[in-house]
């Protein structure tokens, strides 16, 4: 992989966009027609289309974020992560609250934005909004405005872990610790699987309570934290040990076969997870060059992810789902893409231009006088990171 993967020419942006649309398509069944997400039957309850897409996001996120952690100090690393998540999220929450204010009370709408501003959903609904949609009836009349936000809290948790590891110098000096953490997480998955035998081969995460509360953030479901963390760590390990990861179409075909077999017959989390991670990373290197241009400088995947759910709920309220599922999916994708494009060009991209911002104090201490022997060297070494990296 070290020979095949190029940070400036790969299909990661294309894959992220596909995963974002997969979440939208998967949600179209419960949101549009009040039925279970596709894939649950085939996998016998182990996963569905939306869950697979979220799993893929964590693999690719771990891969990309670790590359950033390896070249940045921990303060700047944390700053970059905040810029990538929070500006787009805050504008999405505010826009949702302002729109909901026409159908509910403004205090309830603003409370929704405020309670979810740190990425950990503390309020799912706004008054009675969306209770009469297919999804509202499916959940017993509950108001759910943006159900997709659940995964952000787990993403932010692992950002925090890698910020701490970067501060301790682990990413650059002791990458084997990442392998140890990956093995530890896998031990939990394997333990769950073995405890379910011989009754069933289906790997269903076992309940383990909550982790936390974390100050200003709340509590997280422990088993979800470990399972998604394993995928994140798989991506991180692949980034740190690219020279050890073979890239070959035969291995990709084997991984695809293992993924399908485990989804159908069981052991998905213990065997299918690693196969799925390898398949995604192989695709990032092996897909044709035209895919490399997608998402390189303008990444709509995050905007699609955070805007799709409320957009689909609104279209269901307007009765678009009565036109048929294909029309509902097509209009959902079109409307969400427009919002995601606006989010990228008006919010996310301008925010990412602040990645190079440095406090004046730090700048003064970093730019030391140049001695005569160093006249050819720049006073402040330029960052090796592009001005805007859409995928991180």
Instruction: Give one word for 358, left, alpha or beta, with left for phi > 0 and alpha for psi -120 to 50.
Output: beta
Q: What is the pLDDT of residue 375?
A: 39
**What ranges do the domains of the chain cover?**
12-374
Say if residue 238 is exposed, middle or buried (CB neighbours under 10 Å; 0-12, 13-18, 19+): buried
Q: What is the DSSP string of 234-284?
A: HHHHHHHTGGG----HHHHHHHHHHHHHHHHHS-IIIIIHHHHHHHHHHHH
Q: What is the DSSP string of 173-203?
A: H-THHHHHHHHHHHHHHHHHHHHHTTT----
User: What is the three-state SS of 75-125?
Assistant: HHHHHHHHHHHHHHHHHHHHHHHHHHCCCCCHHHHHHHHHHCCCCCCCCCC
pLDDT in tens, 219-235: 888 899 999 999 999 99
Q: DSSP letter at 129?
A: T
Q: What is the pLDDT of residue 363?
A: 44
Q: What is the pLDDT of residue 127?
A: 87
Q: What is the pLDDT of residue 381?
A: 39
Cβ-contact 47, 268 below 8 angstroms: yes
Closest alpha carbon to 20 in 45, 52, 63 = 52
Q: What span, in angstroms and rounded, lies between the C-alpha atoms of 86 and 179? A: 29
Q: CA of 91: how far to CAs of 21, 339, 340, 343, in Å?
A: 21, 11, 11, 8
Sequence-distant (≥ 6) Cβ neighbours of residue 209 within 8 angstroms: 222
Q: What is the pLDDT of residue 26?
A: 95
Sequence-distant (≥ 6) Cβ neighbours of residue 35 within 8 angstroms: 29, 138
pTM for the predicted model, two decimal places? 0.90
- The token pair that represents 254 in the structure block: 């084997």
What are the average pLDDT values for consecutive 10-residue runs of the chain, which has 392 residues? 92 96 96 92 92 97 96 92 96 94 85 92 90 90 91 94 94 94 95 83 67 78 93 97 95 97 93 97 95 92 96 94 94 97 96 80 45 40 43 60
């Amino acid at each position: 992989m070290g020979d095949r993967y190029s940070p400036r020419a790969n299909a990661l942006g294309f894959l992220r966009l596909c995963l974002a649309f997969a979440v939208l398509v998967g949600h179209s069944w419960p949101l549009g027609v009040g039925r279970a997400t596709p894939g649950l039957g085939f996998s016998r309850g182990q996963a569905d289309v939306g869950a697979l897409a979220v799993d893929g996001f964590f693999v690719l996120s771990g891969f990309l974020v670790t590359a950033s952690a390896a070249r940045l100090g921990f303060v700047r690393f944390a700053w970059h992560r905040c810029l990538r998540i929070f500006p787009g999220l805050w504008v999405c929450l505010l826009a949702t609250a302002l729109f909901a204010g026409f159908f509910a009370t403004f205090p309830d709408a603003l409370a929704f934005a405020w309670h979810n501003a740190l990425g950990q959903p503390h309020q799912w609904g706004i008054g009675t909004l969306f209770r009469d949609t297919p999804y509202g009836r499916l959940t017993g009349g509950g108001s759910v405005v943006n159900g997709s936000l659940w995964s952000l809290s787990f993403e932010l948790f692992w950002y925090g872990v890698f910020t701490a590891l970067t501060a301790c110098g682990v990413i650059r000096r002791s990458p084997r610790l990442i392998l140890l953490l990956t093995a530890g997480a896998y031990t939990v998955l394997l333990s769950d699987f073995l405890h379910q035998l011989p009754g069933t081969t289906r790997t269903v995460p076992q309940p383990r309570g909550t982790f936390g509360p974390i100050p200003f953030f709340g509590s997280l479901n422990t088993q979800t934290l470990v399972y998604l963390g394993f995928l994140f760590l798989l991506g991180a390990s692949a980034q740190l040990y690219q020279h050890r990861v073979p890239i070959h179409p035969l291995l990709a075909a084997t991984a695809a076969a293992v993924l399908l077999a485990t989804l159908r017959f069981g052991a998905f989390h213990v065997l299918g997870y690693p196969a799925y991670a390898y398949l995604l990373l192989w695709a990032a290197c092996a897909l044709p060059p035209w895919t490399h241009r997608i998402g390189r400088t303008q990444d709509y995947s995050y905007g699609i992810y955070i805007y799709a759910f409320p957009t689909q709920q609104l279209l269901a309220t307007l009765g678009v789902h009565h036109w048929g599922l294909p029309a509902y999916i097509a209009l959902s994708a079109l409307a969400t893409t427009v919002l995601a494009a606006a989010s990228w060009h008006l919010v996310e991209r301008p925010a990412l231009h602040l990645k190079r911002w440095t406090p004046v104090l730090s700048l003064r201490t970093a730019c030391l006088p140049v001695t005569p022997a160093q006249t050819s060297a720049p006073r402040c070494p330029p960052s090796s990171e592009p001005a805007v990296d859409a995928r991180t």
